[in-house]
Amino acid sequence: MNSEFFVDWSTQALARVEAALQVWVPMQAPAGLGEAMRYGVLDGGKRLRALLVQAAAEAAAATDTSAGRDAALRAACAVELIHAYSLVHDDMPCMDNDVLRRGKPTVHIKFGEAQAMLAGDAMQALAFEVLTPDQGVCAPTQARLCRLLARAAGQAGMAGGQAIDLASVGVTLDEAALRDMHHRKTGALLCASVQMGAACADIDETGPTWQAFTDYGEAVGLAFQVVDDILDATQASSTLGKTAGKDADANKPTYVSLLGLDRARHEAQSLLAQAHAALSRSGLPAQRTRALASLAECIVHRDY
Amino acid sequence: MNSEFFVDWSTQALARVEAALQVWVPMQAPAGLGEAMRYGVLDGGKRLRALLVQAAAEAAAATDTSAGRDAALRAACAVELIHAYSLVHDDMPCMDNDVLRRGKPTVHIKFGEAQAMLAGDAMQALAFEVLTPDQGVCAPTQARLCRLLARAAGQAGMAGGQAIDLASVGVTLDEAALRDMHHRKTGALLCASVQMGAACADIDETGPTWQAFTDYGEAVGLAFQVVDDILDATQASSTLGKTAGKDADANKPTYVSLLGLDRARHEAQSLLAQAHAALSRSGLPAQRTRALASLAECIVHRDY
């Protein structure tokens, strides 16, 4: 999976995203807000969502034009801003009460709860601001990217999944209910990342190519969570850069608690196969979908 | 100011907005999230921002077409969603720690802090979702509305103003700094409401009509806050439907603490005159700008 191609590709894609976030997340936001926002989003995490956007944009040939590249870079930063804001809020005392994130103090520990809440709020707004520049990206693409992102972030997506998660402590969820929760909580934004990349190339939403991107996005979205639960049950906190075993300790259902470790691992492999099958069905040349294929491998075979 | 025209006009405009919010803020959002969102935004407040959108849309003749009316109604609901989410978060213990809002328990008192934070987050996403329907509003208008709203809600606007507000407890601000804080904290969204109404009619942002809308929006935005400070210093909590005198008690600077009551009242009148002058400069027939003129009067002459 870590082919020379993918190492080069992801290094370049990450560098573009980090450089763009450095510019777009403003240092000069007032009264320490910019510092808190930057702390929450810069230099952090695997940037999986940004890589999915970029890989899907390349697969769909969006990156063949300067406007498409600009749109894909903006979409990549926007999904990272949404993801980062959700972590900032999720870590707060009234939610998961986490003090450690990626090995560093969480935003509310470093800047206080009020500033953390505001920074998260401002990061969500900034995501939509980044998607709607005065020029460079055509208006229909801007509107479509905002639509996809808003739906994935809101009550039917990420925020709704978090509400189910909140309500699920100590509750017995069956596999369908657990799947629904994760489909919203993490799957929606991961799938939207793929769709937003495809939207940068103006792929028609009623056609088979769009459906293939969506199927791929849903498979990797769910696989991500299954693997997260496996890692949470099997790895040390020091490897993960966050507190391991928290969900089990909080009596929250996970794929591992529900299926057992073996079946959870089997499920992850099955979802990986579904992701590859979707890419085959896309009708796009394998050359173009290489980064998406590698990302699916990375998601399933990662160890942190 | 409460002319027969304005009473009829605002009654109809409010009814449209309430009916649309009833539909667009989803009952069926999972795990109680929809209930918390609806509690936070339905049947509440003066809907000043929604009325400004609708009045500006009428002034700009957006409401002469069905697409323009749809856009204006969506914009009106979107600004109310942003305003309502900001109140939900602002009331939380880590911010203002308010238990009462519009005479009712605040969202976190009723639904818990975690659900209140999520509801606010989901309301912000919903604002952008409402602005980006699959059809009905043309894509350039969707993109433009998202751009105006995101800028007004984020670090350069509302969230930035709140960060300054947070940092201003016990600090001496001069009039320019106080004005800057309110320009962002409440002024940006009020002004954006006017601009979004005008954007529904595709008014060119480089022309004098747009500038007149903007000047009007800035004047009423600032006037709103000056009058808020006057009411906070002079009215009972029961009249306001919220705890009076909180800012003064918290040692936060206000227009009244800085200018005194007389000069604050004079400032409000001066801003009202500026708002009317901007409407005169707009080049729009007075018949069309009647609702905007009445709203400016309401903002300055309200007693709660």
**The CATH number of the domain where B295 resides is what?**
1.10.600.10
Cβ distance B139 to B171 under 8 Å?
no
Report chain A residues whose CB lies below 8 A from the CB of B153: 121, 125
Tell if the CB–CB gap between A156 and B117 is shorter than 8 Å: no
Helices B113-130 and A139-153 meet at what angle, rounded to 10?
A: 160
Q: For testing the chain B interface, which of A85, A146, A164 should be mutated: the one with the most B CBs within 10 Å?
A: A146
Nearest CB partner across the interface for B115, out of A139, A142, A166 = A166
The domain of A133 spans 4-301
Q: Where are the beta strands (DSSP E) in B122-200?
A: none
pLDDT digits 0-9 by tens, A199-223: 999 999 999 999 999 999 999 999 9
**Between A196 and B44, where is the model more confident?**
A196
| Separation of alpha carbons A54 and B123, rounded Å | 28
Nearest C-alpha in B relative to A108: B94
Taking an 8 Å cut-off on Cβ atoms, the answer to whether A122 and B160 are in contact is yes
Put simply, the answer to whether B122 touches A155 (Cβ < 8 Å) is: yes
Kindly give the pairing relationship between strand A104-105 and strand A100-101. antiparallel
B77, B88, B146: best mutation site toward chain A, by most A Cβ within 10 Å?
B146
Max Cα-Cα span within chain B: 51
Q: pLDDT per position in chain B (304 positions), as tens?
A: 458 999 999 999 999 999 999 999 998 888 899 999 999 999 778 999 999 999 999 999 999 999 999 999 999 999 999 999 999 999 999 999 999 998 899 999 999 999 999 999 999 999 999 999 999 999 999 999 999 999 999 999 999 999 999 998 778 888 898 899 999 999 999 999 999 999 999 999 999 999 999 999 999 999 999 999 999 888 866 666 666 666 666 677 889 988 999 999 999 999 999 999 999 999 999 999 999 999 999 999 988 7
Contact yes or no for A29 and B163 at CB 8 A: yes
Chain B residues whose beta carbon lies within 8 Å of the beta carbon of residue A155: 26, 29-30, 33-34, 37, 122, 125-126
In chain A, the number of structural domains is 1
* β-strand partners of B101: B104
Asked if A126 and A79 touch (Cβ cutoff 8 Å), the reply is no
Q: Which amino acid is at B268?
A: A
* Closest CA–CA distance from residue B290 to any residue of chain A (Å): 31
Distances, alpha carbon A127 to alpha carbons A77, A150, B119, in Å: 7, 10, 18
**Per-residue pLDDT reduced to its tens digit, A151-172:** 999 999 999 999 999 998 778 8
Give me the torsion for CA of B247, B251, B255, B257, rounded to 10°.
Answer: 120
**What is the reported pTM?**
0.96
Question: What is the ipTM for the molecules in this complex?
Answer: 0.95
Q: Beta partners for B105?
A: B100
Minimal CA–CA distance to A91: which of A71, A69, A74, A113? A113
CA distance linking residue B137 with residue A151, whole number of Å: 17
Structure letter (DSSP) for residue B112: -
CA angle, residues A148, A152, A156, in degrees to nearest 5: 125
Lowest mean pLDDT of A24-38, A284-298, B38-52, B231-245, name the range. Answer: B231-245
- Give the whole-angstrom CA distance, residue B243 versus residue A266: 57
Summarised one tens digit per residue, pLDDT across range A222-245 is: 999 999 999 988 986 666 666 666
What is the C-alpha to C-alpha distance for residues B87 and B25, in angstroms, rounded to an integer? 16
B-chain residues within 8 Å CB-CB of A182?
A: none
**Nearest Cα residue to A176 out of A211, A230, A222:** A222
